[in-house]
Structure 1
Amino acid sequence: MSIELLDRKSLLDGGSASAAPGQSVSEGLYGRIGSLETRLARNEREIDAAQAVRYRVFVEEMKAQVAPEAARLQRDIDSWDAVCDHLLVVDRAIEGDPEDQIVGTYRLLRHDVAMVHGGFYSDSEFAISELVSRHPEKRFMELGRSCVLPAYRTKRTVELLWQGCWAYALQHRADAMFGCGSFPGVHPEEHALALSFLHHNTGVRGEWTVSAKPELYREMDLMPVEAINARKALSAMPPLIKGYLRLGAMVGNGAVVDHAFNTTDVLIVLPIASISGRYVNYYGADAGRFSS
């Protein structure tokens, strides 16, 4: 599951952000636009609040299936939460405690942590361990469980989430990011145009080749290349996947149907060296633009 359900606008266009006065990237605050800030969760209460936001989006809105205990608590929670960092977008204009101000979240898992806790979450669907083993000199970073409350699915929120991921990647010297991008529903054929476009135009190659696990593999090559209208395919694409493509991302071989989350997942692979210079310049090559 997923790096979807964010803005209906571009991940990357417009807006501006700045760090709060007297705070820096090293303190976990990555940026601010108006009353919105992005930073890491600072305590268990904030992680619990992020899980509540995820429950509202994934279960109540998307009809994902969760364990009975998670349903009782009204939290989307799993064992990975204890080892991941939790990126937040908070709205300081909301009255209440900091955990009441959380409107969006992203779960981040860096390489060194994953290696001592059984690997990466996405390895349950895609052959991540094979990809990582081919690059012993590189540091990977996984993005997941991204969601934003409906009223905050705006350009500003998405921009702050991306800025947070970028600053975090620089902090931890990541060489590549990856994560599952989701199409709604469990019938890949309903997304034949978009999936076929991804297969023919953005597929992983060379050293970055990675595929869905054989027992889960669903074909993405559902239409011949000559039948694909690129404009219509991009229009049918979930907005965040389009955003990652603009950055320079590739898409793994094969899709996976996630029945629990009611999605069809593809793997997004984004080597840091492949990120478009336009966006590196915009957000800052060292994230210094967003520090005090």
Structure 2
Amino acid sequence: MQTSIIQADARATSGKLVLSMASTPEELREVQRLRYKVFIESMGLSALQRADGLDSDEFDEHCDHLIVRDSDTLMVVGTYRLLSANRARKLGRLYSEGEFDLGRLNNIRNRIVEAGRACIHPDYRGGSVIMLLWSGLAEYMRRENAEFLVGCASISLADGGHNAVAVYQQLIAKNLAPIEYRVTPHLPFPFSKLEAAQKPQVPALLKGYMRSGAWICGEPAWDPDFESADLFLLMPLANLDSRYARHYGVSELQAA
């Protein structure tokens, strides 16, 4: 594991919840077990089921992992995976590049933090966990001198993709990135061939990003493994609306 950004003697707390950075292989496995429960078991993705019950990939060892732990039960109840610009450079790519061509972002790569794999245990989706995770993210970006947050936000295709079409059409009307920040999906989601749902249901985390000033950087990619349409987001920290600069819209956020 990499050196922790949030030191053990400087943990943030909220009631019985404690925020820290994973610093041991055991803590990383706790993170991976939670992700498996949220992303694979709860979604019934049989094709991704594994005997070890862990959601893991090659990026985990290169990333920092924010964790929120219940101090009463010691259970990890929330996590966020962060990849700094320095580690992305050593690795040779961002996670998002598996889905998108990010060539137009080359001039800002040294000022980027990529965030992903945000998830919260189903019993703890009341706002406090995501508030701690976002406070940790803000501190991480400050220490990395990062000016941009990037990552993918997923929309379930459980309804055949109609909601994904409606959400995309609704959000790009006001949140489409300037042309110089546009990206191209490797495997485009065929949104133009589907009818949009009448009432878009925007995922909570995506809604929070939009309210905080994030941009959608182009058409969605199709992720057949996780059965989702993925949007690439970029948020300049300068775009943070003053109403959300303190809390990042956390009162309505749950999991991604």
Please tell me the TM-score bracket, short chain as reference.
Answer: 0.7 to 0.9
1:208, distance to aligned residue in structure 2 (A): 2.1
- The residue that corresponds to 1:174 in the other structure is 146
The partner residue of 1:133 within 74, 89, 106 is 106
* CA–CA separation in structure 1 for the residues paired with 2:145 and 2:11: 16
Partners of 1:101 and 1:176 in 2: CA distance: 31
Counterpart Cα distance in 2 of 1:92 and 1:47: 17
Shift in CA distance, 127/27, structure 1 to aligned 2, threshold 3 Å:
same
User: 2:189 aligned with 1:218, yes or no?
Assistant: yes
Other-structure match for 2:95: 121
- Structure 1 gaps, min length 5: 1-24, 95-99, 285-292
* Cα shift readout 1:15-45 (whole Å, capped 9, x = no counterpart): xxxxxxxxxx752645211011211102110
Q: Distance in 2 between matches of 1:217 and 1:184?
A: 15
Amino acid in the other structure paired with 1:121: Y
Compared CA separation, residues 199 and 65, structure 1 to 2 (3 A): farther
Pairwise CA distance, 1:192: 2.5
Q: Is the 8 A contact 2:164 2:229 kept in 1?
A: no
Instruction: Give the superposition deviation at 1:150.
Output: 0.3
CA offsets 1:53-86 (integer angstroms, 9 cap, x no match): 1111111101235667xx1111001111110001
The answer on 1:269 being equivalent to 2:234 is yes
1:239 pairs with one of 204, 228, 232:
204
Deviation at 1:245, TM superposition (A): 0.7
1:150 to 99, 111, 122: 122
2:78 match: 104
TM-score, normalised on structure 2? 0.85
Identity %, equivalent residues: 29
8 Å CA contact 1:196–1:220 kept in 2: the answer is: no
Opposite residue 168 of structure 2, the aligned amino acid is L
Partners of 2:47 and 2:62 in 1: CA distance: 20
Q: Rate the CA distance shift 1:228–1:182 in 2: closer, same or farther, 3 A.
A: closer
Alignment of 1:192-211 (within 5 A): 192-211=165-184
Distance in 1 of aligned mates of 2:101 and 2:20: 30
Checking the alignment, whether the CA contact within 8 Å between 1:140 and 1:177 is kept in structure 2 is: yes
1:58 corresponds to 2:39: yes
Going from structure 1 to structure 2, the CA distance change for 1:170 and 1:160 (only over 3 Å counts) comes to same
**Displacement, 1:256?**
1.2
- Size of the aligned set, in residue pairs, is 242
| 1:189 aligned onto 2:162 | yes
Distance 1:223 1:250 in 2: 23
> Aligned-pair RMSD on alpha carbons?
2.5
Q: Secondary structure at the match of 1:79?
A: coil
1:253-264 pair list within 5 angstroms: 253-264=218-229
What code does the residue aligned with 2:153 have?
A: G
SS in 2 for 1:157: helix
8 Å contact 2:111–2:148 — kept in the other structure?
Answer: yes
| Letter of the 1:242 counterpart | K
Bigger RCO of structures 1 and 2 (CA < 8 A, at least 6 apart)? 1
Stretches of structure 2 that go unaligned for 5 or more consecutive residues are 249-256
- For 2:224, the aligned partner's letter is H
Partner of 2:216 in structure 1?
251
Measured in 2, the distance between the counterparts of 1:241 and 1:50 equals: 22
Q: How far off is 1:111 after superposition?
A: 0.7
Structure 1 length normalisation: TM-score? Answer: 0.75
Aligned partners of 2:133 and 2:210: how far apart in 1?
16
Contact 1:83 1:113 in 2 (8 A): yes
**Equivalent residues of 2:94, 2:114 under 8 A apart:** yes
